[in-house]
Structure 1
Amino acid sequence: MDCSLSYADILKKGDDVLIPGHSRRYFRKPYLKALSFFSGCMGLDLGLEREGIEILLACELDRAARKTIETNRPDLAIIGDIRDYSATEIREKAGLSLATEIDIIVGGPPCQAFSSAGKRQGFNDERGNVFLKFIDLITELQPRFAVIENVRGLLSAPLQHRPHEMRGKNFPSLSQDEKRGGALLFIIQRLKEAGYSISFNLYNAANFGSPQQRERVIITCNRDGEKLPYLTPTHSEKELYGLTRWRTLQEALEGLPKDGHHFVKFPEKRLKYYRLLKPGQYWRDLPTDLHQEALGASYHTGGGKTGFYRRLAWDKPSPTLVTHPAMPATDLAHPEEDRPLSIEEYKRIQEFPDDWIITGTLLDQYRQVGNAVPCSLGRSIARMLLTYLKGETPIVYPNFPYSRYHKTDDVSWMVETLGELEETLGKQLSLNLI
């Protein structure tokens, strides 16, 4: 493709056009310089930008997401597969000399390798290997700070996965590599060997101003070796410490025009049941005699099945946005209208500006926004780093429930994880990691 095409030309072309990689197109020197990897449609990056941290380079392989980046931030350097670039080449693309300090590297490596919903192949998965490449680049580029975002499953993922049907009394005991937490321990050890301190926790984005309950592990690394503080919450479900109550879906969608929405449709056979539900209700709120009929074969499966026939509530944050709002087990239906959430509503919930253009087919757009990091979480990360750089004391709320889960902070997690490993390995790792 001709790199001289205008961005209007790019938008007119088909969605299968691959935006070519290119170097940064401007060369002013911002106060704080960041490189972004696995950038998607730039939710995390927008959060950093809003606090004054400037993104110089985006790394993204997905065609639709690359077009989104090029459309909205044409001056950024763009690169593709992270495995195709050396640290030196990345510096060149970003317009940075070998002597120029990189302030921050951020990235959310593909999470499917560690998700509890998948096969959890960890670093044996191709996507897991991309994660390791990202760690290698951090250690080679030596930024002052590194931020890694991932799913909750990373906290329990083993270094090597053994299928559940191959466990039990008829099989050998799990090896050290097969025990829970091994993947994260491996990452921590690699980063510590490169001189970085590590701090992490599991954070619910709703506690930081997002109108969405979305839990993600945020790992922050400091080259100076001093441990960085946890993020400071700005909101609370129960207004703990006098914080503002969680933002609601109604607040997020306020002022959004009612017309001009783009959305996938529910099949007519499912709309029959949606028309019987009110805001905040789901399949259990249907007449009892319709439960089995509505769920079909899923009626006999375990779990609460809370995503089936789910209408969102106006007065609560949205559930975690998924990459398709009309899949039967993870429905995200409008509170009142007989349709899934629109892409315009998705953008509001993930806190993208209304004029932020998400490119590609409708399903491409849902995927990009559904995979994004809420902008509020990005802003909270930036505020923590800026507070640290200014030498200011962060606000700490003792025993604050950052998420639904306990012992997800680095200190508690380390003690519990090492306790589950063999005693000899635990002693060895504790010397290096705690």
Structure 2
Amino acid sequence: MTVFDRDLKEITAIINSLYGNSISSENCALNNLTVITKEPFLDERALAYTEAVEKNSSFREALSKIPCKGICSDCNDCCIKKYCNSFILKKRKDSEKSLQMVDLFCGAGGLSLGFSQEGFTTALANDIEPCCVDTYAHNHPETPRDHIVLGDIRKVTDHLEGLIKDKSIDIVVGGPPCQGFSMANRQRLIDDPRNHLYKSYVDIVNRIKPKFFVMENVKGMLSVADQVKEDFRNIGYSVECHVLNAKDFGVPQNRERLIYIGNRLHIDNEQIFNEIFNQSENIKKHVLADAIYGLRPLQASRLKNSTESGSDTSGYIIESDNVKESNEYIKLINQGNQYPLVFNHKARYNNDRDIEIYGRMYQGDKSDDPKIADIMPYKRRNGIFKDKYFKLEENKVSKTITAHMKFDCNMYIHPTQARGLTPREAARIQSYPDDYFFRGPYTKTYMQIGNSVPPLLGRALAKVIKKYI
């Protein structure tokens, strides 16, 4: 399925979810197609929409349902604004004077979203996963799609000057994988051939020379922190690092990440970290129940290989928000906005055995619980797979959301329903706003969410750093 095919499918689902079988209006989006096809740019999206009106009856019927005022009176209230050239042009114009950011190994865009919420704009991003680039481009419309580079980081290093052009970059962010850091005692981190991704990150920082950089990584990389600091000092940056836990910044999840902050402005990075830690003391802490509040109850899907379809009982990829309930945490991640749709709230397939296990377990129960001993498939290896099944506790922070969820959600059982978490529930726990739509194959939405830096953590970093730029 091409990007445009997915666009048409999603636009149709969004409109049908909101407008149902409403009667077509003479003053509808179909009769004002120039509004959403203002200029043929962004991979010729406008041309694709125009052709689809002639060839795709479901798309044409959907456009005839939405009143014209719904897409041209106020872009911020438009239900299909992220697909609309008019809105995209406006976003790009508004962001021209923003602080400029480069996001390497961007994933789905959680870290840079936090920075965007504090006034930064992504001038260039890169990731090797097609679904991540698709998600990033959809949710960061202010960044031209040809500046969200799909492929190996070398595609950025080889064409860096052309991609940046005359822009002055304020900050580079990202988390390069470092496969060889365990060899640190025998070989310099930057010289280990397995760490070419890390080396490319350092090289790009050196060539762009931003005022700041933020690099995040696993806590285990702390063992080579001195090497990392030396590598950046060799290119003119002072740098410090600390382990931050997302739960201290309002995220309802126990998630530790190693954060490096460096700058070439002769600013004390420890002072910046002190401000970040002080900020966390005034941030209200949240629990799992805060994150999953207001999402309608679902049942596990009973139909195999049905990841692209949905049902009333197991949920849909796109549906209208008929619950419309909120709380302090949801208002925080949504920045006070209310959205009429729910994205990615769809339960995955589970077999009879797993559903029975989920139903018997109490919150906090693990695989070794006696209530499931008779049907536990890994009971001979309980010492190894003690957490193979785990029922989350709603009054505590969640365990760390990981990319393993793409395989199964047995370690992330809903606290009150006999099923695993949906991608939207996982995204809420990661502090993504409700209008952040994860594109791509269903199971890969879990991977995108699990590999993310929580936007609230990114927002906390950006809030302090931008004062010094």
Q: TM-score, normalised by structure 1?
A: 0.69
Structure 1 residue 316: deviation in Å? 1.0
1:7-406 alignment, distance < 5 Å: 26=92, 29-76=96-143, 77-80=147-150, 81-86=152-157, 89-94=159-164, 96-97=165-166, 100-110=167-177, 128-156=195-223, 181=224, 184-228=225-269, 229-230=272-273, 232-233=276-277, 243=282, 246-258=285-297, 260=315, 261-287=345-371, 290=373, 293-301=376-384, 305=385, 307-325=387-405, 331-389=411-469
Instruction: Say if 2:45 is the partner of 1:5.
Output: yes
The 2-side partners of 1:330 and 1:192 are apart by 44
The 2-side partners of 1:273 and 1:343 are apart by 21
The 1-side partners of 2:374 and 2:182 are apart by 30
Structure 1 residue 245: deviation in Å? 5.3
The 1-side partners of 2:429 and 2:403 are apart by 13
The 2-side partners of 1:7 and 1:232 are apart by 47
Residues 366 and 124 (structure 1), Cα distance of their counterparts in 2 relative to 1, 3 Å cut: farther
Partner of 1:411: none
Amino acid in structure 1 at the alignment position of 2:45: L
Partner of 1:407: none
Structure 1 residue 187: deviation in Å? 2.3
Residues 316 and 128 (structure 1), Cα distance of their counterparts in 2 relative to 1, 3 Å cut: same
Percent identity, aligned pairs only, is 29
- Listed one character per residue, the Cα deviations across residues 261-302 of structure 1 (whole Å, up to 9, x for unaligned) are 313234333333222212232234434x8289553342243x
Amino acid in structure 1 at the alignment position of 2:447: R
Q: TM-score, normalised by structure 2?
A: 0.64
Residues 135 and 297 (structure 1), Cα distance of their counterparts in 2 relative to 1, 3 Å cut: farther
The 1-side partners of 2:218 and 2:171 are apart by 21
Residues 211 and 218 (structure 1), Cα distance of their counterparts in 2 relative to 1, 3 Å cut: same
The 2-side partners of 1:211 and 1:282 are apart by 20
Residues 7 and 265 (structure 1), Cα distance of their counterparts in 2 relative to 1, 3 Å cut: farther
The 2-side partners of 1:321 and 1:123 are apart by 29
RMSD: 3.3
The 1-side partners of 2:215 and 2:364 are apart by 33
Q: Which segments of 5 or more consecutive residues in structure 2 lack a partner in the other structure?
A: 3-41, 53-87, 299-314, 316-344
Structure 1 residue 219: deviation in Å? 0.2
Structure 1 residue 153: deviation in Å? 1.6
The 1-side partners of 2:156 and 2:169 are apart by 17
The 1-side partners of 2:252 and 2:47 are apart by 32
CA contact (8 A) 1:115 1:151 kept: no
Structure 1 residue 254: deviation in Å? 1.7
Structure 1 residue 326: deviation in Å? 7.3
Amino acid in structure 2 at the alignment position of 1:247: H
CA contact (8 A) 2:114 2:456 kept: yes
CA contact (8 A) 2:217 2:257 kept: yes
- When structure 1 is superposed on structure 2, of 220-229 and 324-333 the one drifting more is 324-333
Partner of 2:11: none
The 2-side partners of 1:291 and 1:112 are apart by 40
Q: Which segments of 5 or more consecutive residues in structure 1 lack a partner in the other structure?
A: 13-23, 157-180, 390-434
- Listed one character per residue, the Cα deviations across residues 144-171 of structure 1 (whole Å, up to 9, x for unaligned) are 0000010112113xxxxxxxxxxxxxxx
Amino acid in structure 2 at the alignment position of 1:279: Q
